A and B are shown apart, each in its own frame.
Chain A
Amino acid sequence: MTRRARLTSFHTRHGNQKTHPINPNLQANTNEMDTTCHCPPPTTIPLYEQDELAEVTGGTLRPGGIALTAELLTYCNLQPGAAVLDVGCGPGHTLALMALNFGLEPTGLDPSATMLEKAARNAPTASFLQGSATSIPCESDSFDAVVSECVLSLTGDIETSLREMYRVLRPGGLLLLTDIYCKEGLGQPELPGLHSCLSHALPLENIEKGLAQAGFTLHSFRDRSDLLKQLAGQIIFTYGSLEKFWQLFMGAEAAHRTCCALFSAPLGYYVLIAQKGEHHG
């Protein structure tokens, strides 16, 4: 069964949901995605699909949780009925928040069928698309805002992903972005066997360059590394230690190496809002 076929059956089960039309020009690219695998090796663990992480983050799988999302959405003051795309929607907590608390019309995009099924349960009124941030299966100028939380570094090609987010935004549309970054000059932590934003974190200058190259104007930027530390502290209180947490997903030795790698390559967490120019197509 192909990825597209799974997507079709997914929409059949949730037949009352609408989707943004898929850009026919992107059809070839979308199909290419099925054969050009950017996925990690089969033995690699996708951290964001682990229930243990959801347990300490209230289901949202990222530092700051749903409270940070609400803070961002409040700040942006999007009009009720605005179309918002959540790139890497995961289990759909942001989609539910947008629909129920802000009166927005959210669409969730995620490459994981497992996550999309969870999202459909959490946000039954949202629309859903299975696909990648590097090839968003939507027409240009479709959304008033794009939200992407703790996902960009996972996409493997942030320049392409940011260009795609820019493309699907309407002129004047907002990009709400949060993600892990690695502190400059210290490099990415080597975390073999773990597929997560932690192992793919990039320096802030790469993010800023990608935004500028895509055409975005940076509106606001905040360093929220305190939220990453808060999450790590909560993991210690919940699981006894960071090492014991990693042992849930890997052997004791690998867990120890992971802790050492994270300690020697400190990470940060940022929140930013960028805008697509009013006069750009």
Chain B
Amino acid sequence: MSTFSFIEATSWQCAECNQPLQAAKVNVAYLGSVFNVELMTCPQCGFILVPENLAMGKMLEVEQLLEDK
């Protein structure tokens, strides 16, 4: 099993629903591919928090992989 996770305790809440975020498996569509990732989401409206280390780190790594060189 993978020990890696983007899930972490966060003080962020969904402003629209005023709900604390919960971990959920979501599909991330990126550069024509779809990836299954566990992220913090609003249990009511499904709004997803994309943490900085995902946006600036893993997304970049995947982007480099998906781009034809």
The residues of A with any CB-CB pair to B shorter than 8 Å are: 52, 55, 226, 229-230, 232-234, 236-241, 244, 266
Q: Which of A237, A244, A266 contacts B36 (CB 8 A)?
A: A237
Q: Is the interface of A mostly helix, strand, loop or mixed?
A: helix
Question: Are A239 and B32 in contact, CB atoms less than 8 angstroms apart?
Answer: no
Hey, which chain B residues are within 8 Å of A234, CB to CB?
35-36
With contacts A226-B32, A229-B33, A237-B35 taken as known, whether A55 is within 8 angstroms of B2 at the C-beta atoms is yes
A-contact 0/1 string along B1-36, CB 8 Å cutoff: 110100000000000000000000000101011111
Question: Are A239 and B2 in contact, CB atoms less than 8 angstroms apart?
Answer: yes
27 A-B pairs, CB-CB below 8 angstroms?
Answer: A52-B1, A55-B1, A55-B2, A226-B32, A229-B33, A229-B66, A230-B33, A230-B34, A230-B35, A233-B30, A233-B35, A233-B65, A233-B66, A234-B36, A236-B58, A237-B35, A237-B36, A237-B37, A237-B62, A238-B2, A238-B4, A239-B2, A239-B4, A240-B4, A240-B58, A241-B58, A244-B4
Question: Are A229 and B2 in contact, CB atoms less than 8 angstroms apart?
Answer: no
Question: Are B2 and A236 in contact, CB atoms less than 8 angstroms apart?
Answer: no
Most buried by A among B32, B33, B36: B33
The residues of B with any CB-CB pair to A shorter than 8 Å are: 1-2, 4, 28, 30, 32-37, 58, 61-62, 65-66, 69
Q: Which 10 A-B pairs have the closest CB atoms?
A: A240-B4, A233-B62, A230-B33, A237-B37, A237-B35, A238-B2, A239-B2, A239-B4, A234-B35, A229-B66
CA separation between A4 and B1, bound complex, in Å? 34
Hey, which chain B residues are within 8 Å of A52, CB to CB?
1-2
Residue of A nearest to B53 (CB): A240
Hey, which chain A residues are within 8 Å of B34, CB to CB?
230
Hey, which chain B residues are within 8 Å of A238, CB to CB?
2, 4
Q: Which of A55, A232, A239, A244 contacts B65 (CB 8 A)?
A: A232
Hey, which chain A residues are within 8 Å of B62, CB to CB?
233, 236-237
Hey, which chain A residues are within 8 Å of B58, CB to CB?
236-237, 240-241
Hey, which chain A residues are within 8 Å of B36, CB to CB?
234, 237
CA separation between A230 and B32, bound complex, in Å? 9
Hey, which chain A residues are within 8 Å of B66, CB to CB?
229, 233
In whole Å, how far is B4's beta carbon from the nearest beta carbon of chain A? 4
Hey, which chain A residues are within 8 Å of B33, CB to CB?
226, 229-230, 233
CA separation between A233 and B66, bound complex, in Å? 8
CA separation between A239 and B4, bound complex, in Å? 5
Residue of B nearest to A241 (CB): B61
In whole Å, how far is B10's beta carbon from the nearest beta carbon of chain A? 19
